[in-house]
Amino acid sequence: MPGFLSQDNPFKTITIKELHPTYAAEIFGANFQDMSEEQFQEIRVAMAKYGVLVFRNTGLSDTQHVKFSERIGELDNIARYLTAGRKARYAHLELFDASNLDDNGDIITLDNPRSHYNKGNALFHVDSSFNPRRSSWSLLRAVKLPPPGTGGETEFADSRTAFEELDEGTKALLLKKHLLGAHTLLHSRKLGSPEFFKDLDPESQPMARHKIAQLHEPSGRMNLYIATHCHHIESYDPATDKLTPMSKVHSDELLHRLLDQVTQPKYVLSVDWHNESDLVAWDNTAVLHRATGGSFEGKYKRDMRRTTVHDGSSTAWGFNDGMVATGFARTLQGAMSGGTNGEEKRMGKEKEVEKGGVDVGA
């Protein structure tokens, strides 16, 4: 029952307050300064069940945030996004920048190219579905928050329950045809700010492919792995090992229907940020999320830092064996400065781009 402390608390070292009828919990009693293995395992169990865990007032520093995250699994880092002209704002490359600040720590204006880039984060997504190896946990920590009442909540959507409650026909279609999403960061950037990114071609870069209906191994439940990074849908034939794109009409229709399914208000939870050092962790293979705007935008600092854990499940790499993650640097740089991306297109699939710098918060 949401809002109540769980009556039958199976945990010895933490207490749970459920936040929604089907998922998400606030955790009390986590000792981030010196966490026992027992408590750490309880937090893992809680994540498998709830998909979103809220920890208030953790007191975590950048270094402690990274160290704690490393206990969960191998971390992604922003090295491939850091190209000439862009420096990391912090010492740890494992920290992704989800702030509204520029390289000097000043608030970016609403017409800044990065503000346009960030608009894509306000669409429901999972982190890293555009990478060959997807992510499991994201751990987002508030370093500086805007004043209360000016917005900036983070919203979640329960994609496991959304799968379970999907109509049987669509479930069967997803499973029998082994439907998969082809994901690219460029697609969500363009959806977020279509006019600004009008010359950006999402098909100019290789896409990462992941099955849509997937077993969430930590809980044994099925999950709808969908996101606004998903550009189109393909089917997989195990007999021939071939991927076939659906027709654009069918793909668009199904994609919208699945996104509409999972983002219905009954599956959505808004999490407010109260204090600096609040930490919200979620499992990208069990929930979707998005940033929300507000009157703080362009006016107040919102400094958020995120670690991202590589998925360790058997389907982490989807259909992307051998594919190399790119930072989309030159493609976005071209689009963000009004240039074209024809050159990068010719450079071929697995070339890491050396020039230009883009945001590191997606």
Q: Strand, helix or coil at 235?
A: strand
**Partner in contact with 140, chosen from ligand OGA, Mn ion, none, beta carbon below 5 to 8 Å by kind:** ligand OGA
Give how far the C-alpha of residue 328 lies from the chain's centroid of Cα atoms, to the nearest Å. Answer: 16
Q: For residues 45 and 122, which CB has a smaller minimum distance to ligand OGA in the complex?
A: 122
Q: For the chain, how many residues are written?
A: 362
Q: Is 88 exposed, middle or buried (0-12, 13-18, 19+ CB in 10 A)?
A: middle
Q: Determine if 108 is a binding residue for ligand OGA (CB under 6 A).
A: no
Please check whether residue 141 is in contact with residue 306, taking contact to mean a CB–CB distance below 8 angstroms: yes
Among 114, 134, 210, 306, binds ligand OGA (CB under 6 A): 306
Q: Determine if 190 is a binding residue for ligand OGA (CB under 6 A).
A: no
Min dist. Cβ of residue 361 to ligand OGA (A): 6
Q: Determine if 229 is a binding residue for ligand OGA (CB under 6 A).
A: no
Min dist. Cβ of residue 297 to ligand OGA (A): 12
Query: Which residues make up the interface to Mn ion (CB under 5 A)?
Result: 127
Task: Record the tokens describing residue 308, joined without a space.
Answer: 């991202």
Q: Determine if 121 is a binding residue for ligand OGA (CB under 6 A).
A: yes
**Partner in contact with 304, chosen from Mn ion, ligand OGA, none, beta carbon below 5 to 8 Å by kind:** ligand OGA
Q: What is the DSSP string of 108-132?
A: PPTTSHHHHHHHGGGS-B-TTTTSS
The torsion defined by the Cα of 317, 94, 73 and 80, in degrees rounded to 10, comes to 20
Scan residues 239-258 and list those touching ligand OGA (CB under 6 A).
Answer: none
Please check whether residue 214 is in contact with residue 225, taking contact to mean a CB–CB distance below 8 angstroms: yes
For residues 79 to 98, the per-residue mask of contacts with ligand OGA, x marking binding by CB under 6 A and - elsewhere, is -------------------x
**Where along the sequence are the contacts to ligand OGA (CB under 6 A)?**
98, 121, 127, 138, 140, 154, 289, 291, 304, 306, 361
